Homo-oligomer: A and B are copies of this chain.
Amino acid sequence: MTLLDRFAEFVVRVGANVQPGQDVWVRALVEHAETARAVAEQAYRAGARRVTVEYRDLQVRRSTVELAPFDALGTAYPHELAFYPWLREIGAAWIGLIGDPDPHLFDGLDPARMAAVDSKAVRAEWRRVIETQQVAWTLVSAPNEGWARAVFGEPDVDRLWQAVAVAMRLDAPDPVAAWRERAATLAARGTTLTDMGLDAVRFRGPGTDLTIGLIPGARWEGGAMRTIGGVEFMPNLPTEEVFTSPDWRRAEGTVSVTAPLELPTMGGAVSGLRLRFAEGRIVEVEADEGADLVRTELASDDRAPYLGEVALVDGDSGVRRAGLQFHNMLLDENVACHIAYGNAFTEMIPGSADLPKEERLAIGLNMSVVHTDLTIGGPGVDVDGILPDGSVRPIIRAEEWVLPVS
């Protein structure tokens, strides 16, 4: 079996966990055609009833941003609005292949037009997919020539496949077993953190002293999720994080982002990003390059400048072991601890998905059209948990997970 077929089978069986008779929807970029075809074939071999591959084309998207009348940006056709509700209704499996073939494709475009191009109503429907667990879904990065060029300076797709195989633990003798073990570790960490009832987490390192207040009772999660029908699936492949959504009102301090940040949807890259938080809000944005892209994205709506996620990742991460900057957030976010400004995850507070906006916000769960991950961990960054009585529990030291896990 080729690496491509092993990858495709893994995505189908571990990622989306396709069930016999199920309908499968694969979303990919045109540059992913070879992988999408392999995934479609493996989905049928897993017993899928119908497999649809929907291709997106970022170069067409670029033309839209550049040339469409402004009032057409952000509009949605009826079938686009109906798509995710229909996917939930039929209980499909959804597989998204990502991996931008050109991280600079949108450079130089008007950030206001970039921010306007997607339909917010359609994005809201996607969030309902995440919140309702009717769909087994997985987002996975698939190599292509352009992406390989962005990583290595040459279109060495084979080398990128090898690195992705390490990041996804496909190099293990039994990848499925390796993955189940890692997922169990992540789940146990989540349970331990949830049960501790932490009041806050604190990150300390060069240029970083950030304390993030947590929501009482909010869950930490990691590894697999389950559909309401009980099918286990991996929302992201790979995933190395345990994460929660913090109280959007309670972040204080400063943080240095420890990895280059790409904002392809905003048309550019950001380096040396430094943020200051006060009462939960990002009140200062500085960067060596690209600060305006962040400022523009933070202006997407009132709630964008507040945190929606905090995630803990140790040095045993496959992405960390691969030793590459992948220029791909799904992979790069798993290299170390990270936070995200923007939308929170309602699954942290069971039942909160159906609450009106005011009540969600009152609990502390942020709501925004954006959700952008920022790597803030790494070799020099320690992580502590702070209990309600003020006592401190070390969680990560020198990239090692040191908190005892039950």
Listed in ascending order, the chain A residues whose CB lies under 8 Å from chain B are: 21, 30, 33, 36-37, 40-41, 44-45, 48-53, 55, 57, 59-60, 63-64, 66-69, 72, 75, 77-79, 82-83, 86
Contact = CB atoms under 8 A, between A and B. Distances in A.
Given A51-B64, A53-B57, 8 more contacts: A40-B64, A41-B67, A44-B66, A49-B69, A51-B68, A52-B77, A77-B86, A79-B79
A201 B315 CA distance: 80
A23 to B, nearest CB: 8
Contacts of A69: 21, 49
Determine how many copies of this chain the complex contains. 2
A53 B21 CA distance: 29
Nearest to A41: B63
A47 B75 CA distance: 17
A63 B50 contact: no
12 contacts: A30-B33, A37-B57, A37-B60, A41-B63, A44-B67, A49-B72, A51-B60, A51-B63, A51-B64, A51-B68, A53-B57, A78-B86
A21 to B, nearest CB: 8
A48 B51 CA distance: 32
Contacts of A63: 37, 40-41, 44, 51
Given A30-B30, A86-B78, A37 B50 contact: no
A30 B59 CA distance: 13
Given A30-B30, A79-B79, A82-B79, A40 B68 contact: no
Contact of A75 (B21, B50, B67): B50
Contacts of A82: 78-79
Contacts of A83: 79
